[in-house]
Structure formats: structure tokens, C-alpha cells
Structure 1
Amino acid sequence: MNYFIGLDSGGTFMKAALLDSNGQQIAIAKVSAKVLNEQQGWVERALDDLWSDAKSAIVKLLQSVDIAAADIKGLSISAQGKGVYLLDKKGENLRNGIISSDSRSLGIVKKWQEDKIPEAIYPMTLQTLWTGHPVSIVRWLKDNEEENYRQIGAILMAHDYLRYRLTGNIAAELTNISESNFFNATSGEYDPELLRMFGIEEVFSALPPIIKPDELAGYVTQKVAEETGLEAGTPVFGGLFDVVSTAICSGINANENTLNYVTGTWAVTSGIATGIPSESDIKESNYNYVYGHYVLDKQYIIHDASPTSASNYEWFHDYLGKDGEIDHQTNQQLVSELPAAASELFFVPFLYGSNMGLGIKAGFYGLQAHHTKGHLIQAIWEGILFCHNLHLDRMRVRFPRASVLRVTGGTTTSEVWMQMLADLTGMSVEIPSIEETGSLGAALMAMVGVGEYASIELGLAAMNIQTKRIEPNPRHYHAYQHKYQRYLQLVNLFKEFESKAFESKQFEKA
């Protein structure tokens, strides 16, 4: 039997999974990700810590199994998208990595919005523009860290950086870099005109060569082999944007009947389409959908996303759990005992960002003395689902025939939460029997890369992934939809408050 490693670099954990060529997970190792929050809106990772976490996960994985390193035929990586991980002109770490949930460039993005830059770039990039995009962060560096900006030698994303440390080769992977706003969706290449529009044309030469997900990127170096237990010369492949990885493993395709729902650090709703919109399609559309390259030729992943998902629940672990851990079973029981959507308590899950306007913050509203711990948990779960539902509302305009949600992420272990999702949306919920979609998707790229399978489709078919189905309770649909509409009204009030606060700060500066 041949074996493959899928490395998954997420917002909470670094995971390394060992899978056989049938897609069966043999073992997995997890290391808590070290994240730095030293100023409001700043979310960083020390690059050496990121690499140390990856090495630790690999070492821990290999020590847990009795399998020879020579039997591991390939390795690949799935990771968070966006953000910036920089090398200097000598190939050394330049500064801490800046994660996609970082919002330090808020003022820059607001100015770009005033100047109609998002509307100008969309026909070129098929991307929206927000604080976590590499272009926003790089522009912030130009304005605030001039020396670091001058020293930029390579602009990478998380899996690009880890691949560099494994192999010594610099490259940018297609599914991730195609959503960077450096990339022209029509030409399929970097576009210097885009960099000029963002005022960062000086870094064009720092954009790395682009490789495909299943393309050979290099080999594990001797030094890395000595540090991890891997065999020197093990092939390393391009890898995936984690949103693409979960979409692959969920089994969605271009028939447009099924959407992928990711309930992890980010709330993501994805669908697959063939081709990109024409200029006339863009003009006629009432919403700018995000298009990124998919793993299959001439197919694109369309998704709507925000950092408003389960991480907002996990943040409360010190308050809702014991000994630093959330007691999910107890919390689930508390919520199941409450009437559906009957509480007047609301939670806005914007601890790490918003999907209804820049700079809106998280908070509870409607809290009264009679509310219990169960009410708090229920409000948190509802708020997260409401954020997801905003993305779903947008995506159902683009995919009007969609009737099924394929859900992936940590929350799928909660039957109560998943039933709430089905009841709110009125859609069937299907949960694939996959513990770690990021690791499996990455490992599948290695399997195809070495020729274990002739294609991604054949690999998935051979793995025969089963799903569990949850049907909506129609008696609860209207209650959830009513509360959802009230939630939207509440967030609009938050948005108005934040907008006036921002204007006041700008006036004080002037």
C-alpha cells in the first residue's frame, strides 16, 4: 500500500494526516496554531512558528504509525487563503505573516471604495476587495513599513510558504493566487495594471511562478528529512486553497443542484460553474460573485465567505466550557431543550470580521436577567447560521436550482446545530463521512500528481464517500426566517453606528 500526507494549515490547528491510496485516514496529528493579536485588528503569525507547527505535526504523525517513510509517496498542503507571507530578496523571512482575518488596512480599503476601485477591478479579477486580500495588506506595508516594503522578494500565501520550507522552491498555487487581486481572470496571469491601480507596482517582480494543485513543486530536502522523519526526495505537490479542498471532498460539481457549506473558521458557501461571466453578464448581475480557479479544467469555484463562523463560538470556550474546553455535549443538550428561534436574544458573530460592512463589531443584543447559558449558546449558534444564510441568499440567486447543502467543518458533529441549519434554510443537509476535508483534499492532489489516480474524479469515485442526510422541519422554517430578518435589521443598526463612529474619528483627525 502507498501512503500520502495531507497537511492542513488552518486558523486554529495545523494538522497532518496520513492516508492510504483508498483515501482512508490512517492517523492524524494536530498542533494548536500560534496566532498573534498584538493590536486591534492585527492578526499575525510568526513565520518560524508556522513552519515549526508544520514540522511538529509531521513528526507527531510519523511517530504514531509503524509505516516506513519510503512508503509515503507524496505530500501536499491545503491552507487558508489570502493574507500575506513574505520573503526578503535573500529568501529569508521578512516579517510576521499577516492572516486573512487581519483588518489593519481598513482605512485603505474604505478609500478604495470611495474611489470606486472595487467596481473598476471586478471585470478584470472577478474578485471583491477587502482587508484580508494580499493587495490590501501589501499597500498597508508600503504606507506604514517602508523598509519592509522595499525588501519584499516574494509574496506568498500560507501553503506557498510551507511548500517553500519543505522544498526550497518558490511558487504560488493557482487556486489560491487566482483570488489574490494580482491575477487577471481572463488572461490567467498576473496583471501589472492591477498593481498600478493599487499603487504597489514596485512588487510585480516579487510575484512567484504559478503552479497547478497537482503539479510537482519540488522534493523534501535533506535538512527537512532530518528534522521531520520524512524521506529526502519525497515529492511535494502544489496544493489547494482550503475552500477548494472542502468543495472537492464534499462532492459538489457543476450540476448546480448542490452547494458546499463550510462551517469552520470561515463561513463559506460554494458552487461550481463552467466558465466565467462575460462583460454583459457582469453588467446585468446585481451582485459581484467571487470566481476562483477550480481543480478541474475550465471549471471555477464561486463562493461567498466571511470569518463569521464557528471560531466565534470557540472564542467563548473559557466562558461556556470547563478547563479551557467547550463541553459540546452539554451545550447541545441545553440548546435542544429551548423552543426554536423563540428567544429575543441576538448575537452578531463579527469577532474576526463582518459580512455586512467593514469595521462592524460583534456583540449580544436583547440580553435580560432571565436568559440562561443555553440561551447564550443558542443565540451564538443562530447568529453564525444567520451569517451563513446571508451568503446562501446571495448564492441561491446564482444557483437557483440548489436544493441540497453539503456541509463540512467541525459543527457537523452537532445534530442539533445541523437541524437548525436545515430548518432555517428549508434545504436538505448532507454531511460527508470525512473527518478532515483539508487533509484529504491535499493528499488527493499528491495521489493524482504521482499517478496513483489518473484524475481527481476517479480518485474520489474510488474512495466512495458516504453522506448522512438531515431533512428540514417545516414547522420551524418561518420562525427562523422571521428572526433572521430581525437579525439583518439589527446588524444594519450596528453598521450605522460604526459608520458614524468612523466619520467622527476622521473629523477628529482633521
Structure 2
Amino acid sequence: MSEKFVMGIDNGGTVIKAAIYDSEGKIHALAQSHMDTLVPQPLFTERDCEDLWQANIRAIRRCLEQVSIDPKDIAALAITGHGNGLYLAKKDGSASRNGIISTDARAQSYVDRWLEQPDYKERVQSKTGSTVWAGQPPALLAWLDDNEPEVFEETDYILSCKDYIRLRLTGTATLETTDACGVCLANILTREVDSDLFDFFGISRWVEKMPPVVDSTEFGGYVTEEVASATGLAAGTPVAGGTMDIVAGALASGLTKKDELSVITGTWSINQVISTDLQLENRVFLTDVYPIPDTWLILEGSPNGVSNLDWYIRNVVRRYLDVFGDREMTDGEVFALCEKLIHDFTPEVQDPFFLPFINGTSIIPDGRAGFVGMTSYHDMRHMVRAVYEGVIFSHMHHIKQLRGYIDLTGHVRFTGGAANSQIWAQMFADAIGLPLDIVDAEESGTLGSAMCSAVAAGIHPDIPTAVEHMAGKTRETVYPNPEFADLFQKRFARFEEHLASLGAPISETQWIAAKES
């Protein structure tokens, strides 16, 4: 009997990736294709759905072309994609309008109004465990009703990004559980679409457009003959539900224990735990189902991650070097120079800190990036170190919220850009105060999806087993240095005090008071 493989497909913001894995998580092929983000107006972020579909076809075809594997030996595939946003489709798979990406902010006024409603907590938070925001389907559907009402009659299905691609692969429309529950359209306890949520948001007519819900490891259709011809996949290949991207990332990091923390250092500052005790009275950024029975994923995050250092290196350090350097340096050399600057440098408590809001933030109203506390005494070392710390403080702000309702005693599953820096990883360990397991999970989206397809195909009996065999392995463990714990806590306290002065709520009571004011 020939060896069986699985495929994972990751639909990110601008890059679509496809990868083939074996049962032990070894990657045999990886390919990608790019597509553009459309910004037709300020605050709008969209994509052409046909371009999105063609980008998926290219990634799948290129992936298969890299290996001599018989497509019939791909036991199943699954897809992940950015959560939230909105993809409206017709029965034939074509889109009713452009897809909307989760960074879209056109509908913020609807969210502001809903959060002020006295029954919001009872009718929304108690059912979803999440905070509604502008890039989610409820807000976008409400906006469409007021601004593009004709779209309703042209639409048959409300879908997420990945579920739209599964419709194109299989001809069958389904909405997977983590996307249904993670976007405030379904009850997270029953895992069913909740019509009262639609009523609260004033979009009740759209509930008829919701397709059947399938689980992450349940088949949602089979590759059609037409798609097989276009991609090289075998007709009839099963397509599993897959997961929202945050869940795929947690799986790839190996998160299966409820006392552990998964930290993903990317464009977003992602901090997540799993729990078997769902406390819906706590206000959190996002709660979602997890593909382990009676388990939920709790996430706190914001777009305040390692892209801040990328920005600083590109727009400050590199520009300085381009003017005054004697030769052009590679990106790796510039990064190494930054590392050298701060290698043996320890700041004082009162030295400058950095607000890591280069991509905006939901933490404070109209948040912007900047250095706080600069004087003529301070130099490049202080600024580079402050940017490194600022990204850490963003994570710590969210981890502080997570510690409010779960006891973190295990190791941190640590992945993303900062995991490639020994200095940065050590700083994270010192600041969080827990050992960091540096996990090799560079392609977390495709890997997390591949795990779902492996379980759906019967290669592994359940998700914990798939994680044990396929998840990224621990490259090394970085232990916190107690010598620097007090310094980080004092500098983080200054960071938090400054956020509070700018209007950042730091407790449930303050959050409510801030909304009321």
C-alpha cells in the first residue's frame, strides 16, 4: 500500500500557500502565489474573488508539480484563511461582490452603536464569548444593507474566506465551525447559527443565507472533475472543514494543554490559551471552539507585532545606512547590526519606551506609534531596544488579560518572527516569566490545516494525536532570567500607565466606563 499524504492550503492576506505533508508532519512540497489587496476607498480592504480563486489554483498546481507523488495518494486536504471579513457567493460559486478582508473598518459606527446597547452583554457576549468589531460579518452585513441593498438578492451563501475556496473546490457550500463561532454569528455553546444574534444586529433577513455548518475534521465536499483538471488534484479528493487561521496557528504550535500559552509573533500580536471551562462573563477579544471535544480557544491580540521592528529597520536604520554606509547591506546584515547594538545593553527603568502601534491599534482610541521619554541623552541603542520591548509589551498587555481567567503554569509555545532572534526570545522569556519552547512551525497555516485533513482521512484518530505526530517540534527551550524580571515589570508598568493616560481600559470596570464616556 502506498504512503498517504495530506495537503494544507493557507489563504493569507496577500499570499496563498499550498503544502503537502506526510503523517509525521514532514513537508514534501510548498508553493505560493500572490494577489493584490484592493482599497477602493479609505478604510475599505477588499479582494477580487475570482483572482483569489485563481491564486489558489496556481498554488495547488505548483505544489503538485514539485513532487512525484500520485495525486490519488493525497488522502484529503483542508484550508485555512483569515478569519472574519465577508465572502458572499452564489450557488454556482461566483461571488456576489468583492470579498472583504478582516482589516476593513468601514462599519465601525455600527459596532460603536451595538456596544452601547444595554442588552449587548446578554444577547451577544454571553453567546459568543467575543467582542464584536468592524471587520466582522455582522457589521459588514449591516453596512451592506444600508449601502448596497441589492447584494442581498444576488447572494445565496454567507461564507468565510476559506469556506469560499472550499465551495469552489467542491461545488458544495458549508461554513466550518471555528469560522461560524468566531465571527459572532453562531452560539459558541451549541455550535449552531443563532437567529437572535442576527436580530440583535438588525440583519435578520440574512440568516437564510447561512449554509450548513461542518466541523474542522469533517468532510465538507469533494474535488470536482473541473477543479481536478485545473489543479492536478485527483477528482473526488475529500476536502475537510479546516479551521480559521488563528486555530491553525495554535495547532501548529502544539497547543493541547490548558495551562500553556501559545504566542505567535507576526504582524499581529497573537496570544492564546485553551480551556475546558468557558467563562462567558469575561470580556475577551475572541473566543472560539477548538477541534478537541469540549475545549475552547481564548485569544487576546492586536495588529501590534513584529512589523513594528520591520518598519523601524526599513525606514530608520536602513535609510541611515544607505546615506552614510560604505556599501549596501542585506536585510540580514541590518538586522544583525540591530542585534549587536542591544546585545550587551540594559536600559534603565526611566529610559524611553515605544508604543508599537505602527498598524494602528484597538487598545487605545486612535492609537499611533511613537517613542515616549526621549531626551538628548538617548541614542540609537535606546530606540532599537525600545522597539524590541514595545512588541513584547504589546504581548504582555494581552497576556495580562489572559491571566485574569486562566492559570498559566506551563511552557509558552513560541513561534513567529521573534523566535528567529535569540536575544528577542530571551527578552520574551524574561518578561513573561515562563519558559519558552521555540517551535519550528514556519508554515503554521498549511500545517494546522493538514492536521485537520489527516484526522478527517483517518490517518490519525483525533487532533491531539495529529498534533503529537505532526506539530512543529521544539527547537530549544529558553528559560527566564530572574535577574531581569523586576526591570521588565517596572518598565511594563510605565507602558501600561501611559496607555491608561491615553484612554486604554485595563480592567472590565474601566472598559465599561470608557465605552459609557
Question: Normalised by the shorter chain, which TM-score bucket?
Answer: 0.7 to 0.9
Partner of 1:508: none
String of CA shifts for 1:319-353, please: whole Å, max 9, x gaps.
Answer: 25579957543433334353246684433233444
Equivalent of 2:367, from 346, 360, 380?
360
Residues 127, 188 of structure 2: 8 Å contact kept: yes
Please give the residue correspondences for 1:118-133 in structure 2 after superposition, counting only pairs within 5 Å. 118-120=120-122, 121-133=124-136
Cα deviation for residue 30 of structure 1 reads: 3.0
The answer on 1:414 being equivalent to 2:421 is: yes
Which stretches in structure 2 are left out of the alignment for 5+ residues? 319-327, 505-517
Larger deviation: 354-363 or 189-198?
354-363
Please give the residue correspondences for 1:39-78 in structure 2 after superposition, counting only pairs within 5 Å. 39-78=41-80
Partner of 1:394: 401
Equivalent of 1:24, from 26, 41, 51?
26
Cα deviation for residue 212 of structure 1 reads: 0.6
Residues 306, 418 of structure 2: 8 Å contact kept: yes
Residues 220, 234 of structure 1: 8 Å contact kept: yes
CA distance in 2, matches of 1:297, 1:86: 30
Residues 122, 288 of structure 1: 8 Å contact kept: no
Partner of 2:214: 211
| Alignment CA distance shift 1:464-1:211 (3 Å) | closer
Larger deviation: 326-335 or 380-389?
326-335
One-letter code aligned to 2:288:
G
Please give the residue correspondences for 1:133-152 in structure 2 after superposition, counting only pairs within 5 Å. 133-152=136-155
Equivalent of 2:339, from 310, 332, 336?
332
Residues 105, 136 of structure 1: 8 Å contact kept: yes
Please give the residue correspondences for 1:257-276 in structure 2 after superposition, counting only pairs within 5 Å. 257-276=259-278
Partner of 2:298: 302
Classify the secondary structure of the residue corresponding to 1:233: coil
The answer on 1:428 being equivalent to 2:438 is: no
| Alignment CA distance shift 1:108-1:328 (3 Å) | same
The answer on 1:348 being equivalent to 2:355 is: yes
CA distance in 2, matches of 1:6, 1:355: 31
| Alignment CA distance shift 1:288-1:74 (3 Å) | closer
CA distance in 2, matches of 1:396, 1:416: 25
Residues 106, 358 of structure 1: 8 Å contact kept: no
Larger deviation: 148-157 or 237-246?
148-157
Classify the secondary structure of the residue corresponding to 1:407: strand
Cα deviation for residue 246 of structure 1 reads: 2.1
Classify the secondary structure of the residue corresponding to 1:74: strand
String of CA shifts for 1:241-282, please: whole Å, max 9, x gaps.
Answer: 12212222323334x3211112123222221222433xxx73
| Alignment CA distance shift 1:274-1:352 (3 Å) | same
Cα deviation for residue 359 of structure 1 reads: 3.7
CA distance in 2, matches of 1:359, 1:201: 32
One-letter code aligned to 1:96:
N
Instruction: Say how many residue pairs are matched.
Output: 489
Classify the secondary structure of the residue corresponding to 1:152: coil
CA distance in 2, matches of 1:108, 1:397: 29
String of CA shifts for 1:107-133, please: whole Å, max 9, x gaps.
Answer: 221122222454231112222111122
- TM-score relative to the length of structure 2: 0.87
Residues 91, 153 of structure 1: 8 Å contact kept: no
One-letter code aligned to 1:22:
E
Larger deviation: 420-429 or 35-44?
35-44
Cα deviation for residue 289 of structure 1 reads: 6.6
| Alignment CA distance shift 1:20-1:98 (3 Å) | same
Larger deviation: 209-218 or 77-86?
77-86
| Alignment CA distance shift 1:55-1:363 (3 Å) | farther
Cα deviation for residue 383 of structure 1 reads: 1.9
CA distance in 2, matches of 1:48, 1:318: 33
Partner of 1:447: 454
Please give the residue correspondences for 1:486-497 in structure 2 after superposition, counting only pairs within 5 Å. 486-495=494-503
Cα deviation for residue 44 of structure 1 reads: 2.2
Larger deviation: 327-336 or 126-135?
327-336
Cα deviation for residue 295 of structure 1 reads: 0.4
Classify the secondary structure of the residue corresponding to 1:272: strand
CA distance in 1, matches of 2:271, 2:503: 23
One-letter code aligned to 1:92:
S
Cα deviation for residue 91 of structure 1 reads: 4.0
Equivalent of 2:195, from 184, 189, 192?
192
Residues 101, 352 of structure 1: 8 Å contact kept: no
Equivalent of 2:83, from 81, 84, 90?
81
| Alignment CA distance shift 1:97-1:367 (3 Å) | farther
String of CA shifts for 1:35-73, please: whole Å, max 9, x gaps.
Answer: 234443322222223223222222222222232322222
CA distance in 2, matches of 1:40, 1:490: 29
| Alignment CA distance shift 1:125-1:69 (3 Å) | same
CA distance in 2, matches of 1:28, 1:376: 37
Classify the secondary structure of the residue corresponding to 1:15: strand
Residues 19, 27 of structure 2: 8 Å contact kept: yes
